[in-house]
Every structure is written in C-alpha cells, then in structure tokens.
Chain A
C-alpha cells in the first residue's frame, strides 16, 4: 500500500516551459484564508530545490510557481502544500491560460474615462448655467466654454460609450432593440445636436449630459458585471475536482498523466485518499469507496477485484489497480459536467427584469422623440428647434434610473445577504429566486449535517474502543474517536484495507471494523455500523447516523407558511431518506435517484411550469442545481455544486434558505418600485421636453435627481414591521 509513495510520479506534463527551460506550474489550493497561510505556503514551496518563486493569489486560490531548470519536481510542490494541510490540485496549463476577465477590465477603464469626463466637463458647463439666473456670459465666452466642453466630452463619451454601442449594434443586427439602443442613439444624437448648437452659437448644448449619462449607466453595468464574474469559474473548478492527474501503470512504473489523456484499457493506480479518475473495473486490491459525491449515499461501499468504479468516487482505505473502461470525456463526472453546461445555457435565455422593461420602454420613447421632431416641424418650429426638442426628449428620458433600478437593488440585497453568510453569484439569480414556488432538498449534507455521528452509545463502551479508533484513518473510526476525545492510542496497530484495524489495548488483542473482521456473522447492511471486540470476548456494535440539521424541521414549516411546496430528492436508500423525511416533516420524497434522475425530475417540473429552487451539495446534485430555476448549496458542498449553485450559504443553519428567498422577494418589490419611479419621472419629463421647457441645467438636475431617488430607494433599510 505504501508502494505508491516511494515511486516517483512523473508530472512533467503539467509544467509550461519557455525557451530557456524555465517552467511555470499552477496549482489550485483550497483552504488558504489568511496571511499566515500565504506565508506558510510560499515559504515552504520557495525552499524546495529548483523553485525560483511562488506566489499565492488568495482571491482566486491559485498558486503560481516558477521553476528554475529541470531539477525541480512538480510532485514535491504538491506534496509540500498538502503536508501543510491544504488541498492542492494541479492545473492543466491549457485551462489556466484561458481565464482572463477582459470584459471587467474594459468596463472599469470605460468607467474611469467617463468619471474623468463627467467631472471635468462641468468646469465649462456650470458657468454656462449661470445665464439661466441672469448672470449671462457674453456670447463669445459662452461659445468658448462650449468648445472646451466639446473637447473634453466628445472623446470621453465616444470611448466610454463603446460597450453600449457594440451591444446596441449586435442587438440591432438580430432585429431587436435592447436598452443599449436608446442609450447609444441618445448619446450620439446629443453630441451631434450640441455641436450644431455650438457652431450656430445657440444657447443650449448638452455635452455634460452625454458623459454624465454614460457615467451613471456604467456604474450600474459594472456592479452587475462584478456580481456575475464569480460564476464564470464553474467549468474550470469542476475539471480541477476530477483530479487532473491519473497514475498510469506501465511495466510496474507509475507515470502521472493528465486525465484527459487516459485511454480505454490503461491500467491505473488509485492511491488511498485519491479520487477515481475515470470509470473502470478493479483489477486488484481491496478498499472502501465514498460514493457520496456520485450518488449521495452515506454508507461506504466495499470494493474488490472485478468491482465497477465510477469517476469521482473517493478511495478511502486501500490501494487499487484498475482498468479504464471509459475515457475522461465519457466518464460520469464529465457527463454531469455536460448536463451542467446545458443547464447554464437554458438559464442564460432567462429574460431579466431590466430587459423586460427595455422592451416596453424603447419603442415608446423613440416614438415620442420622432413625434416631437415631426410634430414640432409641422407646427412651425423650424427643423433646428424641433431637432433640439427631440434630442431633449431622448436625454431627459434616457434610462439612467432604469439602468440603475435593478443593479442598485441587487447589490444592496446581496450585501445584506452576505452579512448573513449567504453569497449571491449573480443578480439574475436573485430575480429567479424571487419567483420560485417549489423547493427541492437533497438529503445528505443539506437537511442533515452530512457526517456520521455516533448514536446511543454508553460512554464506557466508547472509551473502551477509543484507543483503536484513534489509530485508524477510517471516517467512522474517526467519528468514534472524536466522540471519545483525547486519550491513549492502541499499540502494534495494523489496518487492513476495507476491513478494519487490529491492535493491542493494555496488552489485550482487539479489533475494530466490519462485522466479519471482528468475528460477528450477519450484521445489518442498511445501517452504518462499526463492531468492536477483544479477542474471545463479547462484541460491541456502534451505530452511526447522519443527524438532521438543528433547524431543518422549523425551516420546512416556515417555507410552507410562505406558500412553497417542499420535496426531498435523494440518491440514498429509501430507509434513511424516509426516516429523515418523517423527522423534518416532508411528505413527498424520492430515494435511490442517480444524478441524471434528479436532473430529469427538475426538467419535468420545468415543463410543468413550476419554478423550482434546488438545494443540494453533492456532485450528484450539480446537474440538477444548474437546471433548476434557482439553486442554493451549503458552504461544505463540493466545488462543482457550489459553482453550479446561484447562492451559497456558509452557516450551519438551513434558515439561510428562507432568508435568501425573503430578501430576493423584497429586492424584486424594490426593483418594481424603482421602475414605477422612473416611469412617473418620464411621464412628467417627456412632455416638458416636448414643449421646450427643458434646458441643460434642468436636464442635469433631473437626470441625477432620478438616479438618486432610485439609489436611495435601493439602500433604504427594510421596514421592520413587515411580516417575518
């Protein structure tokens, strides 16, 4: 079993080399949280021979290691980080290069330029407003001011407006009009009219409005982008979870290869503590598998020669040699990943509130502007005045408030949830969450705590078995040892893979493990159990059970009071699922489901027109999570489930689900209120602009005023007497 540790694993496939032979290696490190972690990890890795530099990015969890020449060993780097107590995965160099946040960068630059433009153009336009209060600038000074404003505003507006222009163009080419179309037309028309007014020595030019408008809109757009950016890494982290290294056995030598390179028929070694890389059959060796990720089953599955292995299962106790029967793309985990991708695609088709508003708003405003121009000209205003009024209609009705209405509310809501320990991945997630009418829970790790706990055992029996339990690495033995606390450890311990541990306690030979190993015939396979006994003595049985979370029953009762129906979908056996369902008070439950069953059931709900909230934590839930209308995962969930979920709650309490739904509904209400405000504002402002009552000063006031109203409504504290 220790053979795998002494053999050298060749991981050169994961190093990117430049011409001089210097290499770069990337690891995904999980568990690092503080300055001490950075210090420990970087220091230890830098001290390795052949390592030039190491840098841990705490935000993304990536450790970049520079290697000097050939003598550096990637395997040592991984081992060093893991020896410090963090989980480390090698990153496929091909994957690492792809992730660059270009859009966020462009928005930030555009926001900076628009902010600069909006601030500086005021220097020249504020003096011009003085004319409105009887402090008229003389004609040539006013023109000079407008020319200077034009020099600052025009390049800034054209540059900062690019994200809007591009999106508007793309949308027009598809024959649709999104919110960016009126924005682009408004900005460009405003600039044109302002130039012509300046050349014709007119009194009103709107250079400041064009830039300020973009600045306010870009704030909303950037906030929205930041919310979404986190969700992008889903596929990447799922790949990392697949343990990208598979150990191929050729003529007794183990060689590390990327999982993507495994071919059918390859002989692979799975060491204890590793995940099974691809689907396959056991050739030799004995062990126990933790299938919780794949099936949600809490009981451990013993495997021996000939047994079938599923990719993603965790090998617990013994070294296995297996034959690959599928390539990585065909394996269970990859199939789930494909389902997740499909789910993400259907989700991106979801029409957001702001876009629904745009579909109403765009035609109305453009018709109004066109009518103003045509009507004004026909009624004898002259083309110049008519165009000026049409531009004024577009400016004052331009959707500053509409653009901010939703992102401002969602940022406020997600920061409120963040303080309660719930992370929100995107604004659209909150909108979808507000609409749910049916809640589906996974059992293991969601309704329950997700770890076996010893039940109904007298303290003196626990103390008797504890010395052996402390010597074992098996999860059940660990749970037993945790119950017993600190104490003596048995001597001469030998752990038999998949069977149990044997050793001397106070000179007496004892065994702890499976029923047959301890010398008991029978045993109830349904229960998670451990047997203990001294040689030629009575055998004792310890039963473990996954306990429901403390507030599970209360949460489900409250969900019902909120008008939601509740159901359990589990991959575990019917017995334990039924017990838990009764305990927390859920009448509808289904057991023994595969990941694909779960996804299909969620799909079925969708075709029936139900809006499902899925709460799950395992790899077996990932596909259902990404297909559901909205989804949540606990912080202890596997990375894939956390990435597939819209929201992640980090606390121990299931009540976070209620908190999230409540906040999402409140956010939806506020967003609708904000739409109401902007509609009201437009109903007043548009006719005023049509009748020529708007000047640049009033336009600036109205624009920032309406945006402020919307922002303040988003930020106002929640009214306390509302129903809890």
Chain B
C-alpha cells in the first residue's frame, strides 16, 4: 500500500503540469488569433510567435 503514497502525489503532479501548460498557452496569447495562426504556418518568414503585449 505504501506505493500509493508515492504514486498518488506523482500522478497529481503530472496532471498539474498539464494544467500549468494550459495556463501558459492562455497567458502567452496562443488563442488570440486562431485563424491567423493557421495561415501563418504557410509562409516561412512570417512572425509565427504569438504577439507579446
């Protein structure tokens, strides 16, 4: 049963990493312009990072 004491926090940690990654995508503006992002991939020289402001 002791393994539970290790595995449970570990799996919650993995879940939390996913949650933090989701927060990061929101904060870095990756949902600001879905149409534009889909189009920008077609040209090499277009700025493909999300806008910083």
A60 vs B1: C-alpha distance when bound (angstroms): 55
Query: CB within 8 A of B23: which of A56, A58, A112, A120?
Result: A112
CA distance A559 to B16 in the complex (A): 55
Report Cα–Cα, A144/B51, bound state, in Å. 46
Q: Decide yes or no: A120 and B39 within 8 Å by CB, A60-B33, A112-B19, A141-B1 being known contacts.
A: no
For B8, the chain A residues whose CB sits under 8 A away are 123-124, 148
* Residue with the highest number of chain B CB atoms closer than 10 Å, among A35, A39, A119, A148: A35
Q: B32–A57 contact, CB under 8 A?
A: yes
Q: How far is the CA of A58 from the CA of B40 in the complex (A)?
A: 10
Within 8 A of B (CB), among A55-77: 55-60, 64
Question: Which of B26, B33, B51 meets A105, CB within 8 Å?
Answer: B26
Contact indicator A55/B35 (Cβ below 8 Å): no
Q: How far is the CB of A497 from chain B (nearest CB, A)?
A: 40
The tally of CB-CB contacts under 8 A between chains A and B is 61
If A60-B33, A112-B19 are given as contacts, then 5 extra A-B residue pairs at C-beta distance below 8 Å, sorted by A number, are A53-B47, A56-B36, A109-B26, A148-B8, A152-B12
Contact check, B11 vs A57: say whether CB atoms are below 8 A apart.
Answer: no
Contact A55 B15 (CB under 8 A): no
Q: Does A10 contact B (CB under 8 A)?
A: no
Q: Hey, which chain A residues are within 8 Å of B41, CB to CB?
A: 35
B24 to chain A, nearest CB (A): 11
- Select which of A56, A116, A144 is within 8 A of B16 by beta carbon: A116
Are B26 and A35 within 8 A (Cβ)? no
Interface contact A59-B39, CB-CB below 8 Å: no
Contacts of A60 in B (CB 8 A): 33
- CB of B47, distance to nearest CB on chain A (Å): 6
Per the 8 Å Cβ criterion, residues 64-111 of A in contact with B are 64, 105, 108-109
Instruction: Give bound CA distance, A152 to B8, whole Å.
Output: 11
For the complex, is A34 an interface residue (Cβ under 8 Å from B)? yes
Per-residue interface assignment for chain B, residues 33 to 53, with 1 indicating a CB less than 8 Å from any chain A CB and 0 otherwise: 111100111110011000101
What residues of chain A lie closer than 8 Å to B46, measured between beta carbons?
35, 38-39, 42
Q: Which of A42, A120, A124 contacts B15 (CB 8 A)?
A: A120
- Residues of A in contact with B (beta carbons under 8 Å apart): 34-35, 38-39, 42, 53, 55-60, 64, 105, 108-109, 112-113, 116, 119-120, 123-124, 141, 144, 148, 152
- On chain B, the number of residues with a Cβ less than 8 Å from chain A's Cβ atoms is 27
Given contacts A116-B18, A141-B1, contact A59 B32 (CB under 8 A): yes
A-B contact pairs, 11 of them (CB 8 A): A35-B41, A38-B36, A53-B47, A58-B35, A58-B36, A64-B53, A108-B26, A109-B26, A116-B16, A123-B8, A123-B12
B22 neighbours in A (Cβ, 8 Å): 112
Q: Give chain B residues whose Cβ lies under 8 Å from the Cβ of A148.
A: 8
- Closest 8 interchain pairs by CB? A58-B36, A35-B39, A35-B42, A58-B35, A57-B33, A116-B19, A59-B33, A59-B35
- Give the chain A neighbours of B23 by CB distance below 8 A: 109, 112
Give CA–CA (A34, B47) in the complex, Å: 15
Set A34, A105, A120: member contacting B11, Cβ < 8 A:
A120
For B42, list chain A residues within 8 Å (CB).
35
Provide the bound-state CA to CA distance between A56 and B37, in Å: 10
Residues of B with C-beta under 8 A to A123: 8, 11-12
- Cα–Cα distance between A591 and B32 once the two chains are bound (Å): 45
